[in-house]
Chain A
């Protein structure tokens, strides 16, 4: 069974600082997705990573995928308050569970002055 683990689960950052959220998964996959969820809202897609070495950037966020290490990172550069949210990674299964999306526990990010 595919397991997806994020760390840290809670992240308190100062504005202007950099930090990285990690997403580890347990079985082979080369398809990984990052989502953002604001309090009381639904999930919004951030990045789609579909191959080893894939890197995507949008504003202060950059996501990468290392399929050999079964690891994706979400890097935050010069954090601002607007980035405060919960971030989820989701891994797409292959084999008999082809297409199934399994989510990590989420990382609650708080950016403060």
Chain B
């Protein structure tokens, strides 16, 4: 498919475990974003990658959260020692660059029990 792909679509994990969320952006898109959306809430910015520039990590809520983007394509968001407050839908988006619309994946619903 030509859209942004995220996996897994659902993840249930025990408190204290680490999780990895994956995002496959649209081919050729240089910009990639991660957002978090809690139930009934807006989009909380987490991190932004643009080409080869250093990522904007200003939205990561704690040092338990990290993300990388390999080869300018696939991105992985890692949450270490998960807490119940980490439960949310994690959305990934990509776009060709500034001034263009971003396309969102279907999200990963993370539940920490």
User: Interface of A with B (CB < 8 Å)?
Assistant: 31, 33, 35, 41-45, 48, 50, 88, 90, 92, 97-106
Given A99-B31, A101-B33, A106-B42, residue A33 in contact with residue B101 (CB < 8 A): yes
Q: Is B25 an interface residue (CB 8 A)?
A: no
Contacts of A48 in B (CB 8 A): 99-101
3 interchain residue pairs of minimum CB distance: A103-B43, A45-B101, A105-B42
Q: Are B42 and A92 closer than 8 Å at their CB atoms?
A: no
Contacts of A102 in B (CB 8 A): 45
Most buried by B among A42, A48, A50: A42
Contacts of A35 in B (CB 8 A): 104
- B55, chain A: closest CB distance, angstroms: 10
Contact residues of B: prevailing secondary structure: loop
Q: Are A98 and B43 closer than 8 Å at their CB atoms?
A: no
Contacts of B56 in A (CB 8 A): 97, 100
Q: Are B104 and A100 closer than 8 Å at their CB atoms?
A: no
For chain B, the count of residues having a C-beta within 8 Å of the partner chain is 24
Q: Is B28 an interface residue (CB 8 A)?
A: no
Alpha-carbon distance A99/B96, docked complex (angstroms) = 11
CB-based nearest A residue for B4: A42
Contacts of A42 in B (CB 8 A): 91, 104-107
Contacts of A98 in B (CB 8 A): 50, 98
- B33, chain A: closest CB distance, angstroms: 6
Given A42-B106, A43-B91, A97-B56, residue A103 in contact with residue B101 (CB < 8 A): no
Alpha-carbon distance A88/B43, docked complex (angstroms) = 9
A45 is contacted by which of B41, B103, B105 (Cβ under 8 Å)? B103
Chain B 79-113 interface mask (CB, 8 Å, partner A; 1/0): 00000000000010100011111111111000000
- A10, chain B: closest CB distance, angstroms: 11
Chain B 58-71 interface mask (CB, 8 Å, partner A; 1/0): 10000000000000
Given A45-B103, A92-B99, residue A99 in contact with residue B42 (CB < 8 A): no
- In the assembled complex, 15 residue pairs joining A and B whose CB atoms fall closer than 8 Å, in A order, are A31-B98, A33-B102, A42-B91, A42-B105, A43-B43, A43-B91, A43-B93, A45-B102, A88-B42, A99-B98, A101-B33, A101-B45, A103-B35, A103-B42, A105-B41
